[in-house]
Chain A
């Protein structure tokens, strides 16, 4: 009897690495979507493992909305430099010039212009036929249904009713001219796995994930960052709150949680005891079928 055991994190790691290598082997021009969040950090770490000792065989693409936290921009640039990765930043400059924002135009329109259109334009411009994303199935109920290889038509749209069967660990990456594939190597990871893995592997993450006293406004049950006064409504007064972010997005649409978890051990303990899902702090998800609708339009 052998004593070979793979812990569940190592089993997930092995699966993710295999997926990334299949994509690099079978696609002409892959790219990795890099959103600077914790899932992106794990995705990038796994990519470095997958192709070690070679450098990353694809660039990182950050679809910037202009509304990210300054800590995210600093971390992004530091990280790319640290590991010698090629970083491409794309923004929907048209919409940004027109002053697109969630307060006046609504969250759906703002996301559609800055994120979905920004992403689709960047993918088209780069001629990428495969794009890695850090989405996990435990995040949201329509994501729970998506394949690891998600085939998108020439408009980047997902057809959830007609997904390609995905058998064993054999991935069918054959696509027609114009089609592309979104690949989710973290499909089977949970939020808890992400935190445990970051802790175990000492993966650097944006400091916003750690608790600190920050200037915030309280909007209903949400804690909204007061970094940019343009996003605040009348009567909202910033006050210092000890808090941290469980997920990171755009400043106007990302809430923080009350927390004193200031290091990885404390974050893991907090995640283990959490009774509310992390997406609760993301305004983007609060609509009838919002994530599925956005995916159908080409969103990640």
Chain B
């Protein structure tokens, strides 16, 4: 064989974890170059893909590849030279696999940025050292704060164009830390960088000896992945009830779902909502055999010792636990619909596996993304952020988004167009 088996470590490949990343920033801040650098350094792009977009024959550095051509997958994007929608890129190191959502910088496409950011464990916010903090930096940082993205990494890029000046780095870092602190974000990892030269991406380079922190790749490989979602209260939104009613399984009744948070064990006393009836977990069923214990974010089926009323939209929790049950919610909303959100308008709310009708009862405030001030408003326009109150046709079971992403998040759906028009986070 041309490749000896020893070159590939199967054991290692089976143990690596998944980290979901999002990259955001303004237009022309060097995001494509950074992504290209990461792909080239981690072999996340193939030769034929790189050659197809290279400016020269052969590839010796990220600079020689037109990286936007690699990630801008739509004809309209290449034609206009802008990124319209999120591109997902995949790369891996011996420690981790990364799914990277590369988001558009234009304000017009903020809805696509929210799409990319909603599932991320970590965000890389790109800033051009020459320009400092831009309006889009603020908008994106604010949205990431609302989404509760667990780790925010700020890459102050193009340090080569400001003479690798530490003062420039320190001043942007201080300004951003202040902007973030005002909205309750305190854990920022700030890295000076030259994505073009590769400094502080996967190697340190020798231009910024004054920076003693980790490189970007070191950070990405060491961030915690699950963020202890398995240690939170057990939440199991039921997707489907499985009743095969076959000869072999005449009485099987399994509740299928993905554990949204927490851990469940065989024998646990659980409560089904909305009925409030309790029972015990009889089996945790999977194709690979029954389990004694399962945790978020696993997809399993549960069977119970008693026949109680459970259907799609029901939520299973531990019997002693409490969860909010309400027909009125207050939520932070990123509005992504083209028609504005207005009081008295009706939408659908989809939260976990529940879809209910909702009426906007009040716009509590609209946030000015530059000053973070809350002002009164009679509508939320496209790409605006605010807090609203909604009246629901039937109750939902939820936690505060800040406590539990899975049960605190919802989308708003326009009943006429069927489009997703808002991202909601219950407060």
Q: Which residues of A contact B (CB under 8 A)?
A: 2, 4-15, 17-18, 21-22, 24-25, 48-55, 137-138, 140-145, 147, 160-161, 163-170, 172, 174-176, 187-188, 190, 192-193, 196, 200, 260-261, 265-266, 268-270, 272-277, 280, 289, 292-293
Contact = CB atoms under 8 A, between A and B. Distances in A.
Interface in B49-93: 49, 70-76, 84-90, 92
A276 B413 CA distance: 42
Contacts of A137: 88, 90
Contacts of A15: 297, 299
B123 interface: no
B85 to A, nearest CB: 5
Contact of B298 (A9, A14, A138, A163): A14
A53 B288 CA distance: 11
Contact of A142 (B46, B73, B295): B73
A170 B88 contact: no
Nearest to A12: B18
B263 A2 contact: yes
Interface string B209-224: 0000000000000000
Given A8-B18, A276-B48, A21 B285 contact: no
A195 B287 CA distance: 20
Contacts, number: 213
Nearest to A274: B46
Given A165-B115, A165-B420, A167-B411, A141 B73 contact: yes
A292 B5 contact: no
Contacts of B3: 269-270, 272-273
Nearest to B13: A196
21 contacts: A2-B263, A6-B18, A15-B297, A21-B239, A22-B353, A49-B287, A52-B287, A52-B301, A53-B285, A54-B242, A141-B72, A141-B87, A142-B73, A163-B85, A167-B423, A168-B405, A168-B409, A268-B10, A268-B13, A273-B8, A293-B75
B193 interface: no
Contacts of A172: 350, 411, 413, 418-420
A145 B423 contact: no
B46 A276 contact: yes
Interface residues of B, number: 83
B297 A167 contact: no
B418 A8 contact: no
A53 B420 contact: no
A237 to B, nearest CB: 27
B256 interface: yes
B244 A53 contact: yes
Nearest to B43: A275
Most buried by A among B8, B73, B239: B73
B292 interface: no
B312 interface: yes
Prevailing SS type, chain B contact patch = mixed
Contacts of B206: none
Given A168-B118, A170-B350, A276-B46, A268 B419 contact: no
* 6 closest residue pairs by CB, A with B: A141-B73, A54-B244, A17-B299, A8-B18, A277-B46, A49-B287
B380 to A, nearest CB: 15
A177 to B, nearest CB: 11
Interface in B347-389: 348, 350-353
B114 A165 contact: yes
Contacts of A50: 256, 299
Interface in B217-239: 226, 230-231, 239
B74 A160 contact: yes
Nearest to A261: B1
Contacts of A176: 418
A147 B111 CA distance: 13
B99 interface: yes
Given A161-B76, A269-B1, A145 B86 contact: yes
A165 B13 CA distance: 32
Nearest to B15: A7
A141 B258 contact: no
B242 A51 contact: yes
Given A167-B420, A172-B350, A196-B13, A18 B258 contact: yes
Nearest to A22: B239
Contacts of B72: 141
A2 B295 contact: yes
A188 B15 contact: no
B220 to A, nearest CB: 14
B47 interface: yes
A183 to B, nearest CB: 14
B88 A265 contact: no
Given A17-B258, A53-B249, A145-B87, A170 B74 contact: no
